[in-house]
Amino acid sequence: MILSDLQQIRREKADELRAAGVDPYPPRATRTHTTAEALARYAAVEPGLDGGDDGEEIGLAGRLVGRRHQGKTIFAVLRDGGGEIQLYLRRDEVGDESFADFLKRYDLGDFLEARGTLFRTKMGEVTLRVGGFRMLAKALSAPPEKWHGLTDVETRYRQRYVDLLANAEVRRVFAVRSRAVSAVRRFLDERGYLAVETPTLQPLYGGAAARPFTTRHHALDQVFYLRIADELYLKRLLVGGFERVYEICKDFRNEGIDRNHSPEFTMLEFYEAYADYLSMMDTVEALIVAATVAVHGEPRLSFQGHAIDLTPPWPRITLREAIRDRSGVDYVAHPEAEDLLREARAAGADIETGTVWPRIVDELLKQFVRPTLIQPTFLTDYPVALSPLAKRKADDPSHVERFQPFIGGGELGNAFTELNDPLDQLARFQEQQRDRAAGDEEAMPIDEDYVNALTYGLPPTGGVGIGIDRLVMLLADQPSIRDVILFPAMRALPTEEHAAPAGADADAALAAASTD
C-alpha cells in the first residue's frame, strides 16, 4: 500500500505520538458514558445545578468530526454510534503542551477519548469541559468534507465504510434494516414458528428457477452448489414432524444484477403445516404490517413518491385476469409457446425468440402488470408450468394455488399451497427437464431425495418466501437493492487481483499484495 502525501503526514503524526510515549492505537478505551447517555444524565441533574458544571467527571469516546480554534479555546465535536456532543478545551485547563498537541497531532476522523464534566454553554448547548484526552485510533485517511461532492455511486458501494462514516442517511437505512428483521423474527417467534438453519452448500440446488453458483468440495471429490433457495430442506423438516419453521438466510443466484436483483441476497422462508395459500395471505399481510409499524409506527409509508397504505385486507387478483386486463393477452387461449409469443409481441412485449411458454407468461407479468401494482396487491392462481412446487387448484388443474405480494411496483415474495403428492412432484420435475432441454437454463433439476421425502408424507402445508432486501427497500424508501445491502457484489477494478492461491502460493500472494 502506497500512502498519499496527506496520509503520510498523518502517519508522521502517529510516529510523533509514539516518540512521545503515546500509543496511537491503544488496545482499549475507558468510556463511562455514550454521548446519548451523557446528554440524558445532564438533563436529569441540570435542574439541581446552579448554572455551573455537573461536577462529576465522565469519559466519552468517539470520532472527532468537527473542530474550531479560537485563541486559548478549542470547540470540537465528538461522534459515537448514538449521536454527537460538543467538547470544550481551554489552554489553562488542559495545559499548554496538551493544548498544542491537540491542535498539531489530532485530525478530523481520529478516534479519541475525552474526560471532563458537563455544562451548558451560553448558546444553550450541552458540552463536555475537557480535563484530559488521549488518542484511541489515528486515522490515516481524512473523512470526506462534503459527501455530496462524491458523485461516483460505485465508490460508495465499494467503500461502504466511508459511505457510512459520512452519510447519516445511509446509517439510517441500515438501522431500518435491523429493526425490520428483528420485527420479522419477533412476529414469527410469537406465532410459534421454530427458527432453523439448513445447508448453504447443497449437493443439488432447487426451490427456485435460477442458475446456481458451483464449487467443488475437494475432500468429498464432489460438486456442490450455493443454495438458490432453502425451500426443499425446510419442507423436509415438516415431513420429519415439525409444524412451523422459518429461516432467514443468504441465497445465491448466478444471474444478472439490476435494481431488484443481487447475486447474494437475504431471504425469509416460512412453512406451516395444515395451512394453505389463503391463510398464508393473511399471515403475510400481518407480517409486513408488523415490520412497517416497527419502522414507521403505523401501517403507512412513502415509497418513491407514492403514499402507500398497507392496512389489510389487500386486493386479490388472479394472474390471468391481471395480464389480460393490462395487455389484452389471455395466455390460456394460447397454450403453445409460438402462439403466445406472437400475441405477446403484438401487445408490445419485448421477448426473445425461442423463449419457453412459462417464461413468456412471466415476461407478460413483468412488463405489463408489475409496474402498475403500487398499492399492496396479491396476484393469485399461476399456471402449473410456472409453478413446479405448488399444489394444483381442485377446480382448475391447469393452475396452482400460488400467490405473490406486490407493493410499490415490485414483487416482494412468493407463496404456495405446497405440492405434497410425490408422484405429481416427480412429474413436475420431469417437465422442468423438458424445459431445460428446450433452452430454459433456470429450470429445476430432479431432486430424487426430496421426492423420496414426500413419499413419507408431507401434511397440507402453506409456504412463503419474502425477499428481505426488497422489503427493506420498501421500508427505507430506497430505489436499488444495492442501497440496502452493506457490501454488494461489485465487478473487480482493473487493478484488483482477487485470486486466492492455495498452499505455499498464498504467502507469496499476500506478500505481493502488501506492496501494491
Question: For 169-259, where are the E strands, in sequence order?
Answer: 194-195, 201-202, 214-217, 222-226, 244-252
pLDDT tens profile 406-427: 999 999 999 999 999 999 999 9
Query: What value does the mean pLDDT take over residues 483-499?
Result: 79
Q: How many CB atoms lie within 10 A of CB 277?
A: 24
Neighbour-count burial of 323, counting CB atoms closer than 10 A to its CB (0-12 exposed, 13-18 middle, 19+ buried): buried
Instruction: Provide the CATH topology of domain 165-197+229-315+375-483.
Output: BirA Bifunctional Protein; domain 2 (3.30.930)
The answer to whether residue 132 scores a pLDDT higher than 70 is yes
Query: Which percentage of the chain shows pLDDT scores above 90?
Result: 81
Average pLDDT over residues 388-392: 90
Model confidence at 512, pLDDT cuts 50, 70, 90, reads very low
The residue ranking higher by pLDDT, 153 or 78, is 78
Instruction: Give the list of residues 6+ apart from residue 346 with CB closer than 8 angstroms, or none.
Output: none
Q: What is the pLDDT of residue 496?
A: 58
- Assign a CATH topology to domain 5-137: OB fold (Dihydrolipoamide Acetyltransferase, E2P) (2.40.50)
- Per cent of the chain over pLDDT 70 is 94
Q: Cell digits for 345?
A: 409481441
**pLDDT tens digits for 281-303?**
999 999 999 999 999 999 999 99
DSSP secondary structure of 3-44: PPHHHHHHHHHHHHHHHTT--SS-S-------HHHHHHHHHH
Domain residue spans of the chain: 5-137, 165-197+229-315+375-483
Confidence of residue 441 (pLDDT cuts 50, 70, 90): confident
pTM: 0.88
Angle between helices 357-364 and 319-327 (to 10 degrees): 70
Q: Are 135 and 106 in contact (CB under 8 A)?
A: yes
Per-residue DSSP letter, 304: T
Is the bond into 313 cis (omega within 30 degrees of 0)? yes
Apex 402 CA angle, 230 and 291, nearest 5: 65
pLDDT at residue 147 tops 70 = no
The predicted structure's pLDDT at residue 505: 39
Taking only the tens place, the pLDDT of each residue in 10-46 is 999 999 999 999 999 999 999 999 999 999 999 999 9
